[in-house]
Structure 1
Amino acid sequence: MVFKRLLGSLGVGGPTVDTVLDAGTVLPGGSLAGQVHLRGGDADFTIEQITLELVARVEAEHEDGEHEGVVVFDRVAVGGNFRLAAGEERSVPFGMTLPWETPVTELHGQQLGIVLGVRTELSVAGARDKGDLDPLAVRPLPVQEAVLEAFGQSGFGFRSADLELGRIRGTGQQLPFYQEVELTPSARYAHAVNEIEVTFLANPGGMEVVLEADKRGGLFTEGQDVITRFTVSHQDVGHRDWNAEIDAWMSRLVEHRDSYGSHGAYGHQDPYRGGHFGDAGHHHGEHHQGDEHGRRSGPGMGTVVAAGAAGLAVGVVGGMVAAEVVDEVGDFFEGDEEEGDEG
């Protein structure tokens, strides 16, 4: 990776930065480590602070349709308060802990189309400039993988994954967005639901598993959404029959389908600080649990990935889907870096 220009406001010859993450994927709630490599410019500068931001590409629903933008979901200072001489090269090692709700970007080594990044910000001479942006790869926690594997073994298929701006009421959600993993129903439940959306809200003790079913409507009735929530522990991985668990969850979801009779209106909350969707002042939808709940959008960002015949071991059809995902990721990072350089 080449050094990228930074601190454009200081003119040609300013410091440059290159952040290199340790190789491999990381876990939600796990440690992320690497090095921030600095190279001095044509003059001496005082590096007041080095900050790493975790950013995600997120979808938001509004009255005029869907929009995509970048949300900063964590910021950590990893160094600073030193003089960087002209032409000097210096490396600053760092380690940071990811939020437990950090989205999963891959499953069984296949990209899901979720775009996360680590962005480096330098504070120099009273100004802040966002420079280097590196992709972040996150694999599922064991209990997340166990749940998804059980869905696959039960005949459900993987359709897509995306990030939605908003909060799910009645949960312990911490981040300003949540991840949806959209599944096609197994033959047993295809008569009752069109699709299942699974959201994991992890925490140190375990996680909440939120299931939303888009119900099939009858001849004279409109289809509706149904939401249920379950709690599992990280220690449950080897101690539960997950296939039986999934069957029980789905039975409960279907049994309660007549209890949810109306679509809820959108609630509004202040946008999460640090996120930007082009212009300020956007609100994000809030999902309601019980008999009020908001809509969920369909797949976005070219995230559709074909399911393997064995379940949720994600496959690719003719290489086309993988190419689309790579293009989306590349466009995101290239565009964001250009934005940072303008500052």
Structure 2
Amino acid sequence: MVFKKLLGSLGVGGPTVDTVLDPGPALPGGALSGQVHLRGGKADFDIDHITLELVARVEAEHEHGESEGAVVFDRFTVGGGFRLREGESRSVPFSMTLPWETPATELYGQPLGIVLGVRTELAVAGAKDKGDLDQLAVRPLPVQEAILEALGQLGFGFRSADLELGRIGGTGQQLPFYQEIELISAPQYADQVREFELTFLADPGGMEVVLEADKRGGFLSAGHDALARFTVSHDEADRPDWNTVVDGWFRQLAERRASYAAPGPYGHETSYGHGAPYGHEASYGHEASYGHGAPYGHDGGHHRSGPGMGTAVAAGAAGLAVGVVGGMVAAEVVDEVGDFFEGDEED
């Protein structure tokens, strides 16, 4: 990677920065490490702080339609308080812990269409510049992979993966957005529900699995949805009966979906460990920026990510294998990722 010039408030001739992440995808709740490489400019500069921001591309729904933008959902100060001499090269190592709810961007090495990045902010003598922006790869937790593997063996297919702005009420959700994985129903459930949406909400003790049946009409003329929540622990990743467990979850949800003949509150609660009723809340906290750097609320991150990029899941004998539908879709994913990072850096 080439050093990125910080023009903006520091001016031409200021320090340059290049953040290099350690190779390989990170894990939610795990360490993200690397080094921030600095190179001095044409004079000495006092580096007040070096801050890394976790950024996501999201989509927000509102009364006028949908909008897409970049949202900062966490920040870490990794260094500062030193003078960078003219022309000096210096490296600052870092290690920070990702939020447990950080969404997965890939499965078995295949992209899901979720775009995350790490952006470097350099504060020099009271002026701040957002410089380097690097793509962040995150793989699912072992228990998430086990559930996805079971889904593949049961015959489900993946349609898309999104980040949704807002909160799922009644859950322990911490981030201002949640990842939603849209599933094509397995044949044994297709007569009742055509699509499901799956959300993982992890924390240090385990994970909530939120399932929602599709809202479209057809099986029920009104098109009502049904939701259910289940709780698992991280140490259950190796249990041998995930197919049976997951099959039971979806049979319960399909039955509930069929029982909704009229609008009403989501009063049914289902739990594999414990459960609570919930609905979708449009509550925002944290720091968010929409468009490219424009604030959308406070100085924090809330967001809704756009529809998936056509990622599909094909189940084989070895379990769930993620593939991209055709070279055109693969190119689209790459192009959109590039556009996001390039556009963000230009601001």
Same fold (TM over 0.5): yes
Matched positions, count: 324
Give yes or no for contact 1:158–1:312 (8 Å, CA) kept in 2.
Answer: no
Counterpart amino acid of residue 317 in structure 1: V
How far apart are the structure 2 equivalents of 1:45 and 1:149?
52
Cα deviations across residues 49-102 of structure 1 (Å, max 9, x unaligned)? 000000101111111111111111110100000000111110000000000000
Task: Confirm or deny that 1:276 pairs with 2:289.
Answer: yes
Give yes or no for contact 2:71–2:288 (8 Å, CA) kept in 1.
Answer: yes
Q: Which residue of 1 aligns with 2:325?
A: 317
Rate the CA distance shift 1:99–1:320 in 2: closer, same or farther, 3 A: same
Rate the CA distance shift 1:263–1:61 in 2: closer, same or farther, 3 A: farther
Counterpart amino acid of residue 329 in structure 2: V
* DSSP-derived class of the 1:239 partner: coil
Note the C-alpha offset of 1:305: 1.3
Counterpart amino acid of residue 314 in structure 2: G
Q: Which residue of 2 aligns with 1:143?
A: 143
Q: Which residue of 2 aligns with 1:210?
A: 210
Q: Which residue of 2 aligns with 1:261?
A: 262
> What pairs up with 1:2-151 in 2 under 5 angstroms?
2-151=2-151
How far apart are the structure 2 equivalents of 1:48 and 1:220?
60
Note the C-alpha offset of 1:7: 4.6
* DSSP-derived class of the 1:182 partner: strand
Rate the CA distance shift 1:83–1:146 in 2: closer, same or farther, 3 A: same
Note the C-alpha offset of 1:193: 1.1
How far apart are the structure 2 equivalents of 1:163 and 1:18?
28
Give yes or no for contact 1:192–1:215 (8 Å, CA) kept in 2.
Answer: no
Question: Larger deviation: 199-208 or 308-317?
Answer: 308-317
Give yes or no for contact 1:158–1:306 (8 Å, CA) kept in 2.
Answer: yes
Question: Larger deviation: 233-242 or 327-336?
Answer: 233-242
Q: Which residue of 1 aligns with 2:275?
A: none
Note the C-alpha offset of 1:318: 3.1
Q: Which residue of 1 aligns with 2:187?
A: 187
Cα deviations across residues 280-317 of structure 1 (Å, max 9, x unaligned)? 5569xxxxxxxxxxxxx9x9455211222426311133
Note the C-alpha offset of 1:11: 1.7
How far apart are the structure 2 equivalents of 1:124 and 1:232?
46
Counterpart amino acid of residue 81 in structure 2: N
Give yes or no for contact 1:191–1:216 (8 Å, CA) kept in 2.
Answer: no
Q: Gapped runs of 5+ residues in structure 1?
A: 284-296
How far apart are the structure 1 equivalents of 2:137 and 2:169?
28
Rate the CA distance shift 1:202–1:260 in 2: closer, same or farther, 3 A: farther
How far apart are the structure 1 equivalents of 2:332 and 2:296?
31
Q: Identity, % of aligned pairs?
A: 70
Q: Which residue of 2 aligns with 1:304?
A: 310
* DSSP-derived class of the 2:188 partner: coil
- TM-score (structure 1 length as normaliser): 0.89
Give yes or no for contact 1:302–1:328 (8 Å, CA) kept in 2.
Answer: no
How far apart are the structure 2 equivalents of 1:115 and 1:182?
17
How far apart are the structure 2 equivalents of 1:26 and 1:220?
42
Note the C-alpha offset of 1:276: 1.3
- TM-score (structure 2 length as normaliser): 0.88
Give yes or no for contact 1:28–1:98 (8 Å, CA) kept in 2.
Answer: yes
How far apart are the structure 2 equivalents of 1:249 and 1:114?
26
Give yes or no for contact 1:225–1:260 (8 Å, CA) kept in 2.
Answer: no
Counterpart amino acid of residue 328 in structure 2: M
How far apart are the structure 2 equivalents of 1:219 and 1:204?
39
How far apart are the structure 2 equivalents of 1:19 and 1:46?
19
Cα deviations across residues 221-252 of structure 1 (Å, max 9, x unaligned)? 22111110000001111225111111110111
* DSSP-derived class of the 1:9 partner: coil
Rate the CA distance shift 1:302–1:217 in 2: closer, same or farther, 3 A: closer
Note the C-alpha offset of 1:334: 0.3
* DSSP-derived class of the 2:214 partner: strand
Rate the CA distance shift 1:159–1:4 in 2: closer, same or farther, 3 A: same
How far apart are the structure 2 equivalents of 1:25 and 1:70?
21
How far apart are the structure 1 equivalents of 2:280 and 2:11?
46
Note the C-alpha offset of 1:266: 7.2
* DSSP-derived class of the 1:99 partner: coil
* DSSP-derived class of the 1:147 partner: helix
Note the C-alpha offset of 1:5: 0.9
Give yes or no for contact 2:313–2:323 (8 Å, CA) kept in 1.
Answer: yes
Give yes or no for contact 2:70–2:289 (8 Å, CA) kept in 1.
Answer: yes
